[in-house]
Amino acid sequence: MVDFNCKKCGSCCHEYPFASEINFKRIPVFPSELEPLEAHADKHNIDVKFLEDVIVPDMVNEKIIVITYRIILDGENGSCPFYGRKIGCTVDAFKPLACKAYPLAQKRVDAFTRSIEIDPYCCFIEENELKVKNMDENILKEYFKKEFHNSMRLMERNKKIMLKLRMLASRGKIAYPSEVKGEKYDKWLKQWERVYIDML
């Protein structure tokens, strides 16, 4: 197996060709990553939109806890608005952690557990015909040094967030419903104030 060497093809910065309303690319942005990205976009006149993605309704305080946003991939040919043709990512200094970890991605095992997987849609992976399923963590670490490190940071961050939510819930400071859909949920989304998990 060869060391990972990004081909700068930009495929990871574009929407899937087969994207649909329910199956689309989610590039997560933590609230702490949002501000520098927005400031950069304002300064350089980049039209970028972020949508709330992972959120938790808190029924004790009647607030929506925002865990992550996602970047709307509505640039040229479904690209991330920060993507520049031939130059690639134009926000290297503020790149979201998830982008720094790519092509390693977090796979959700259950509500509180994730594993690290290789995204088979990365051009490097396709070109080198790498077997991506169930690759040993030590091999991942060796071939994707930087990306593995960032992937672990991402995993740690997610873990800390989940632990914080559980701790707050166990102390009765917040409470989240077991199911988050339906009319009631839509009403909360419209009416409740937003808070970031870092503020709690």
Q: How far apart, in whole angstroms, are the C-alpha atoms of residue 5 and residue 16?
A: 21
Choice between 7 and 187, CB closer to ligand SF4: 7
- Tokens 């609230």 belong to 31
| 31 part of the interface to ligand SF4, by CB under 6 A | no
CA distances from 74 to 18, 33, 99 (A): 15, 20, 17
| 174 part of the interface to ligand SF4, by CB under 6 A | no
| 99 part of the interface to ligand SF4, by CB under 6 A | yes
Contact range with ligand SF4 by CB under 6 A, out of 38-46, 79-87, 137-145, 165-173: 79-87
Q: Which of 27, 41, 66, 165: binder of ligand SF4 (CB under 6 A)?
A: 27
| 69 part of the interface to ligand SF4, by CB under 6 A | no
Question: What's the min distance (Å) between Cβ of 181 and ligand SF4?
Answer: 28
| 13 part of the interface to ligand SF4, by CB under 6 A | yes
| 55 part of the interface to ligand SF4, by CB under 6 A | no
**CA-CA-CA-CA dihedral for 85, 30, 4, 136, to nearest 10:** -150
How many residues sit close enough to ligand SF4 to count as binding (CB under 6 A)? Answer: 22
**CA-CA-CA-CA dihedral for 149, 93, 195, 161, to nearest 10:** 0
Asked if residues 82 and 90 have their Cβ atoms less than 8 Å apart, the reply is yes
| 184 part of the interface to ligand SF4, by CB under 6 A | no
| 140 part of the interface to ligand SF4, by CB under 6 A | no
| 72 part of the interface to ligand SF4, by CB under 6 A | no
Q: How far apart, in whole angstroms, are the C-alpha atoms of residue 165 and residue 56?
A: 9
| 28 part of the interface to ligand SF4, by CB under 6 A | no
CA distances from 130 to 3, 45, 124, 125 (A): 11, 39, 9, 5
Q: Which of 30, 50, 69, 102: binder of ligand SF4 (CB under 6 A)?
A: 102
